[in-house]
Amino acid sequence: MSTRAGYIFKDENDAVCVYKHHDGYPEGAKEHIAKALDFAWPLPRFEADEFGAAFVAANKPSEGGGVRLIPGGEDGWKTHTDIEYLYQIECVNDQIKVKAWVVSYDSTTDQWTQKPIHGWTVKPPQASLALGGANTPWT
């Protein structure tokens, strides 16, 4: 079974949501966000729509499917009631900051629950090649 996740890319002017059908647990999310760094503007430049596009470009399988933009702005992720994790990605002090939640939807009450979990930071320089080794950009 796939672990689905929603990703909110947010800047001071905009928010863009992306749905990813698999590997949405935190370790998978770290890898997917790191891959996007190779397709995005170098930090400290960060635009929500551009980084969201970089995320899709870096993680979309060649056969299609798996990753898609979600309309609806910052709350767009709520249209996918099978999401188990939610991530908010922003640039703060020239670093990528990720907030993370475990989420679940109760169809009987039409309510979402969000439980915060440990977020993380990626520091420049961009280093998607170091996803877990001694030189990892994640803290």
pLDDT in tens, 8-51: 999 999 999 999 999 999 999 999 999 999 999 999 999 999 99
DSSP 37: H
> Does the residue 127 lie in any domain?
no
Report the chain's terminal Cα–Cα distance, integer Å: 29
Question: Using CA atoms, how far apart are residues 42 and 124, in angstroms rounded to an integer?
Answer: 9
The whole-number pLDDT of residue 39 equals 95
Report CA-CA distances (Å) from 33 to 5, 98, 111. 12, 9, 28
Q: Where residue 122 falls among pLDDT bands split at 50, 70, 90?
A: confident
The whole-number pLDDT of residue 125 equals 57
The whole-number pLDDT of residue 129 equals 41
Which residue range forms the structural domain that includes residue 42?
Answer: 5-122
The whole-number pLDDT of residue 47 equals 97
Q: Where residue 139 falls among pLDDT bands split at 50, 70, 90?
A: low
Please check the confidence at residue 136 and state whether its pLDDT lies above 80: no
Instruction: Indicate the helix (H) or strand (E) that contains 95.
Output: strand 95-106
> Does the residue 139 lie in any domain?
no
Question: Which residue, among 112, 90, 92, has the nearest Cα to 102 in the 3D structure?
Answer: 112
> Does the residue 114 lie in any domain?
yes
Question: Which residue, among 55, 49, 110, 47, has the nearest Cα to 81 in the 3D structure?
Answer: 110
> Does the residue 135 lie in any domain?
no
> Does the residue 136 lie in any domain?
no
pTM score: 0.88
Average pLDDT of 109-113? 95
Question: Is residue 47 within 8 Å of 136, Cβ to Cβ?
Answer: no
The whole-number pLDDT of residue 1 equals 58
> Does the residue 109 lie in any domain?
yes
Position 13: which residue type? N
Average pLDDT of 76-86? 94
Residue the block writes with tokens 């890898």: 31
> Does the residue 23 lie in any domain?
yes
Which SS3 state, helix, strand or coil, does residue 123 take?
coil
> What's the domain count of the chain?
1
> Does the residue 83 lie in any domain?
yes
